[in-house]
Amino acid sequence: MSLQSIEARLERCLLQVEKPGRYVGGEYNSVVKDWDSIDIKVALAFPDIYDLGMSNLGIMNLYNQINLQNNMLAERVFSPWLDMESIMRQQDIPLYALESKRPVSEFDLLGISLPYEQLYTNALNLIDLAGMPILSRDRDERYPLVIAGGHACFNPEPMADFIDAFVIGEGEEIIVEIAAKIGETRGLPRHEQLREIAKIQGMYVPQFYDVEYHDDGTVRSITPNEPNLPERILKRIVITLPQPFTKFIVPNIDTVHNRAPIEIMRGCTRGCRFCHAGMVTRPVRERPVDEIMAAIDEIVQYTGFEEISLLSLSSSDYVWVEELAEAVNEAYGDAGLSLSLPSLRIESASADLLEKIGGTRRSGFTFAPEAATEKMRDLINKYVPDDQVIQTAKEVYSRGWRTIKFYFMIGHPEETLDDVQAIIDLCMRTLREGTKILGKKATLNVGVSTFIPKPHTPFQWVPQDTREQVEEKQALLKRQMRRGGMHLRWNDIDGSEFEGWLSRGDRRLGRVIRRAWESGCKFDAWQDQHKHGAWLQAFDDCNLIPDFYNYRERDLDEVFPWEHIDVGIHKKFLKQDYRMSIRRETRVDCRDKCFACGILPKFAKERSTTEDMAWECPPVTPISERRKAKPIAIPLSSIG
């Protein structure tokens, strides 16, 4: 279909859909290059609606990296909402990119962002709307190469049937290498092209790996079927964080997070055992304060955003957090700019930090104690004593914040109803303190999510809580937390069960995902759209048992479906940490003591090229230096 006809058809139908501004592009800072004079064209897709996708920092980073190249262009693609999809299918409007309105099928590369598993059916839907066969093996070189990346891809197997190649790890540098390689291999048969792609460090091409299973359904082996391929694909990292992106696209319509994010630090040294992000984003790399300050300046100037959030997995652990707060306060104290610093530790100092940084608009105070008994806190390796929680809450309420938000998790291994009761008790105590200070104005919002064991974490072996266990725990919470000033939120049980299947799923789940999509499943991240019954039916149709993925304890020596994906952490480290959790032993922040998780030997070369302070991992001293300093022990834990 010609360009004019896509635009003409859109023009006729856009007023019939909700929020037509989602589908037209034209935003300030969007990059529209001359299509005919550019060699390599990349479509970057976030498989949910514009309103959500526009808040995704990952997509924006990649968009920037590609558009910085003279011979490349990147454009955005989002999932149309149901109303728009039905019009597109009716009117034969193929999936198009927002900048040029060109069909996605005319691009060289389609990159799909998969930060979480609930987007899988939408990814299939996008490929289909683009007019392409959904199975990788049915697409030859006439179609754009389809790649995917993002946190969910650390277990790529459930999506292996649909995606030609996965990016394992961080995308900022590799995306340009992939695009360049596609330019070089244009005209080659797809299979040949993929061989070249697989040579890029961090790329995983599923069709080059065979999976064999035991009779009980567990994986026997995963082996490359092409010569010269690594047994395990080591994730890609950037040695230092690239300059922060500041020319954010300013949407013409309201979006979910209508603000600009700056990543102040990547990775986390806390080692919470449930935390997928904390394991897969190692090593910890921090940005210097002046780089952040310069980025804030540029964002105000380039975008006019009134709100900027300073992102990391654990802001209080950012080494220069106080200097940063001070600098922000000095520069923007009264400039109509609002900054937010989420993920603060539960301690009084956090109130100081937020007060300084808070600017004009005080965002709420959010803390994540996760568990409320000593046993559970040791087990998950996140220790925050009750008194510290209460003390911090008192501090926050007494400085005039009316609302505190707490995050807890239920469903960790060995949790009993007593542990859940302790969550209730701690919340009650906190709110009572708030009421003493603010009277009825004090509110406590409590989010209790359901734990889902994730690959590459010390809890990858544990069974997920059954529906009955979760039901019982949630019932207790709902019964006892009905009280003025207290607002409880929890996860839908179907949704958690569904996320569990895909999180630790294997390649056979591709059939299930396809079947579910064929029977109308999409927008699974939307509770009101997720069709649990259709998924169960899809499992049944494919002769697979859903409970196999969620509710069995995995053998310590089981070969996992993600065994060939190397996030840089030794399996023996995870195993040891899992055993420690059973014995309720904890580990301190790894900045204080290196536990040899595996990152350093895997990335020794990279580490040796960086400044001491650039990573939180101890510096790697070249052997010649070490020989010189022989009498002194290598200061493995000297940093921090």
Partner 1 sequence: MTHVSPVVQRLRITFGKSGPLKYTSNLDMAKIWERVLRRAGLPILYTRGFNTRPRIQLAMPLPLGITSECEILDIALRESIEIDAAMLTASLLRVAPHGLSIHAIDDVDLREGTVQSRIISAEYRIHFVDPLEAGVLQERIADILLRKTIVVEKVRKRKRSVMDLRPLIIGLRIDETGDLIAHLSVGERGNMRPDQLIEAMGLADYHHHAHRFKLHLLPK
In the bound state with partner 1, the residue whose beta carbon lies nearer, of 31 and 437, is 31
Nearest approach, Cβ of 439 to partner 1 (angstroms)?
Answer: 18
Residue 515 CA from chain centroid, whole number: 26
Window of 104-112, 302-310, 525-533, 559-567 that interacts with partner 1 by CB under 8 A: 302-310
Residues 6+ apart with CB under 8 A from 557: none
In the bound state with partner 1, the residue whose beta carbon lies nearer, of 304 and 533, is 304
Window of 163-171, 199-207, 303-311, 445-453 that interacts with partner 1 by CB under 8 A: 303-311
d(CA 312, CA 306): 20
Nearest approach, Cβ of 444 to partner 1 (angstroms)?
Answer: 20
Window of 20-28, 159-167, 265-273, 547-555 that interacts with partner 1 by CB under 8 A: 20-28
Whether 485 and 435 have beta carbons less than 8 Å apart is answered as: yes
Q: What is the DSSP string of 585-598?
A: -----TTTS----S
Whether 248 and 258 have beta carbons less than 8 Å apart is answered as: no
Among the listed residues 133, 217, 230, 304, the single contact to partner 1 using CB under 8 A: 304
Which residues, in sequence order, are bridge partners of residue 145? 109
Whether 459 and 416 have beta carbons less than 8 Å apart is answered as: no
CB atoms within 10 A of CB 592: 11
14 binds partner 1 (CB under 8 A): yes
Window of 70-78, 238-246, 311-319, 355-363 that interacts with partner 1 by CB under 8 A: 355-363
Nearest approach, Cβ of 522 to partner 1 (angstroms)?
Answer: 24
26 binds partner 1 (CB under 8 A): yes
Q: Percentages helix, strand, coil for the chain, rounded to the nearest 5?
A: 40, 15, 45
Which residues, in sequence order, are bridge partners of residue 166? 148, 204
329 binds partner 1 (CB under 8 A): no
d(CA 635, CA 55): 42
Hey, what are 492's tokens?
Answer: 């839908």
Whether 58 and 74 have beta carbons less than 8 Å apart is answered as: no
355 binds partner 1 (CB under 8 A): no
- Rg of the Cα trace of the chain? 25
Window of 24-32, 146-154, 426-434, 624-632 that interacts with partner 1 by CB under 8 A: 24-32
385 binds partner 1 (CB under 8 A): no
In the bound state with partner 1, the residue whose beta carbon lies nearer, of 99 and 497, is 99
21 binds partner 1 (CB under 8 A): yes
CA distances from 122 to 79, 217, 401 (A): 7, 27, 39
Nearest approach, Cβ of 584 to partner 1 (angstroms)?
Answer: 45
Near partner 1 in 488-517, by CB under 8 A: none
In the bound state with partner 1, the residue whose beta carbon lies nearer, of 101 and 394, is 101
Window of 239-247, 250-258, 529-537, 539-547 that interacts with partner 1 by CB under 8 A: 250-258
Element of type H or E holding 9: helix 3-13
d(CA 415, CA 376): 7
Helix 120-129 crosses helix 509-518 at what angle (to 10 degrees)?
60
Nearest approach, Cβ of 498 to partner 1 (angstroms)?
Answer: 34
Residue 632 CA from chain centroid, whole number: 41
d(CA 556, CA 558): 6
558 binds partner 1 (CB under 8 A): no
In the bound state with partner 1, the residue whose beta carbon lies nearer, of 363 and 503, is 363
91 binds partner 1 (CB under 8 A): no
Among the listed residues 6, 25, 123, 203, the single contact to partner 1 using CB under 8 A: 25
d(CA 516, CA 502): 13
In the bound state with partner 1, the residue whose beta carbon lies nearer, of 14 and 639, is 14
d(CA 378, CA 371): 9
Among the listed residues 2, 5, 6, 20, the single contact to partner 1 using CB under 8 A: 20
In the bound state with partner 1, the residue whose beta carbon lies nearer, of 15 and 632, is 15
CA distances from 191 to 94, 435, 449 (A): 26, 66, 43
Window of 53-61, 218-226, 296-304, 466-474 that interacts with partner 1 by CB under 8 A: 296-304
Near partner 1 in 305-324, by CB under 8 A: 305-306
Nearest approach, Cβ of 85 to partner 1 (angstroms)?
Answer: 18
d(CA 43, CA 29): 17
In the bound state with partner 1, the residue whose beta carbon lies nearer, of 250 and 390, is 250
| AA letter at 56 | N
- Which DSSP state fits 527? T
217 binds partner 1 (CB under 8 A): no
256 binds partner 1 (CB under 8 A): no
253 binds partner 1 (CB under 8 A): yes
How many residues belong to the site for partner 1 (CB under 8 A)? 28
34 binds partner 1 (CB under 8 A): no
In this structure, is the dihedral angle defined by the CA atoms of residues 360, 361, 362 and 368, taken in order, positive or negative?
negative
d(CA 434, CA 486): 11
Among the listed residues 69, 252, 391, 537, the single contact to partner 1 using CB under 8 A: 252
Among the listed residues 69, 218, 258, 449, the single contact to partner 1 using CB under 8 A: 258
Contact set with partner 1 (CB under 8 A): 11-12, 14-15, 20-21, 23-28, 250, 252-254, 258, 300-306, 336, 360-362
